Structure 1
Amino acid sequence: MTVPARVSQKNPRALTPLAESIARLNLDTDIRFGTQPSDWTICSDLLSEPTKFDLWRKDLAEWLVEQYGESDDRATAGYIMGWYLHVPGYLAGLLFHTARRVPTLKPCDTAFRIAQDGRPHPDGMAILSDEFACLPDDPASNHPAATVVPSEAALAALLRARYAAHAAQFVASFGQVVRFGRRQLWAAATDMLEYGPWAAGRVCGDENAGVTEAALILPEKLEPFVSASTLHLTDEGWKRKRNSCCFHYVLPDAEPCTACPRTCSSN
């Protein structure tokens, strides 16, 4: 079912530019703007108390036992790592793809909702701040909340920097409660930064544009990320070489991910 984006503002005729961009979306994922109900999690609240990740992993472990007969600490850490980083990565990629706008991506300005039935994954995402960056020809470039940059390359670089700042806080927080090293955590951050625009292109009907945007955002190996965009065209369509592993393959009778870096000899 397609879910229209929701905007929590008292006067829908007075939407800010970023809220308007989100209101135009019509996607399967619930994407929102503004303050959300109490069952939503503000990213900064989670990052400030890393032990809250343990509660999320406990719920995931129970679901994995239901699905596979047992759980695994590596899998719960791998799933949560990817799910969390997908939130800022997808929000950034989606707004870059659809509006050439980049939100702040600060943890205090992003939020998500964890599904209450079945798999405990983020089934909704939200931007909480009006602030955004855009190009000079954006019709809202003179808005007080806008930061104007001169080119698409500069906008992509700003997106990368804002995402990196958020990801750095995640690496510092999540790294306290899992056994993954910094390289593994930044590999996941790289994967989700690449996946955001690619996924946005696919859901909006222009995968090739999403691939081009991923290459613009990750044109080469740039610190702290571990690689450039790895998307490449094959006989089966666009594929990528994953840098990180969710450890799904360690679960009983689980099929490895198609681009699993631990089980695939080549991607």
Structure 2
Amino acid sequence: MRIYQEADYDAMSRRTAAIIAAEVIRKPDCVLGLATGSTPVGAYRQLAAWERGGLLSFGDVTTVNLDEYRGLGPDHEQSYRYFMRTNLFDQVDIRLERTHVPDGLAADPEAECRRYDALVESLGGTDLQLLGMGHNGHIGFNEPGPAFVRETHVVDLAKSTIEANARFFAHRDEVPRQAITMGIGTIMSAKRVLVAVSGADKAEAVRKAFCGPITPEMPASILQLHRDVVLVGDVAALSGLREAGVLQ
């Protein structure tokens, strides 16, 4: 695992964007696995600025997103399709037909999960999978539990996840209680995994994920078994790794 320790959120975002941009330049028709939430917003903003400046193009890139809330359509302001269009897709030259997000309104969610796994497999997996990390160690919406779930699946969101996401909704009761998420096996099939973390509130999760035992109670800990992981974090988020002696 390679670790980049950056001074603050802005520096973390630039480093994250640079790694993604390098993949796009190296392989213009690459498959990017993308994440939502507050952490990658700065990186997406930087990528859009570089694209506008003519430094890279997303014209041949294909994207697959990690997850989507069940019950939210693509035009709902809190859906992850809407998030991606607002923060990246509508800001760059990517072709929307090459962007993929699970269908939160699918009449048969189990069939949608199977379709999504088949899609990722048909693309040969992702060349680079961007991940954030929840306070409880979730990646995508793979919550702590008794076992790792390999396939894309419907998940009941943990109370801590609902509370963390409530700030994006007018009222806590509006936060969906379920989501469709890529499974651990789908995530681990990526050729490279890029984990971006920011803030002191993520320090304990980062320490447990990369210094503790591999357990489904800490979903991100499975990344210890991946052959190519890059961790980018600010000083605050990586403080637990410094305490554990992993970083100076």
Give TM-score, length-normalised by structure 1.
Answer: 0.28
Could you say which structure has the greater relative contact order, defined with CA pairs below 8 angstroms and 6 or more residues apart?
2
Question: Relative to total residues, which structure has the larger helix share, 1 or 2?
Answer: 1
Rg comparison, structure with higher value: 1
